[in-house]
Amino acid sequence: MRKTPSQGRTSIIYNFSSDYILREQYRDPSIVGVRFGKLLEEMPLLSRVSRPSSKPNLN
């Protein structure tokens, strides 16, 4: 059974406002912002998490 993109959507929410440790891991003190490089490094991992059935169907 094929899914439309909206049916296969997965959201991952980073609770920076309530999780101090998470916020500190992503904080970039040089620009008082977010370390976008860290987010980009995690994108491949997040895509694997969001597609648990990414194995080819051999049936």
Q: Token pair of 33, please? A: 């912002």
pLDDT of residue 30: 82
For residue 59, is it within any domain?
Answer: no
Q: How far is CA 1 from CA 8, 50, 55, in A?
A: 12, 17, 14
For residue 8, is it within any domain?
Answer: no
Give the model confidence (pLDDT) of 1-45 as tens digits. 687 877 777 777 888 899 999 888 888 888 778 888 888 888 877
Q: Tell me the residue range of the domain where 37 lies.
A: 20-50
For residue 55, is it within any domain?
Answer: no
For residue 11, is it within any domain?
Answer: no
For residue 1, is it within any domain?
Answer: no
In angstroms, the CA 9 to CA 15 distance is 19
Q: What is the pTM of this model?
A: 0.52
Query: What's the structural domain count of the chain?
Result: 1
For residue 57, is it within any domain?
Answer: no
For residue 15, is it within any domain?
Answer: no
In angstroms, the CA 35 to CA 29 distance is 9
For residue 39, is it within any domain?
Answer: yes
Work out the average pLDDT over 44-51: 67
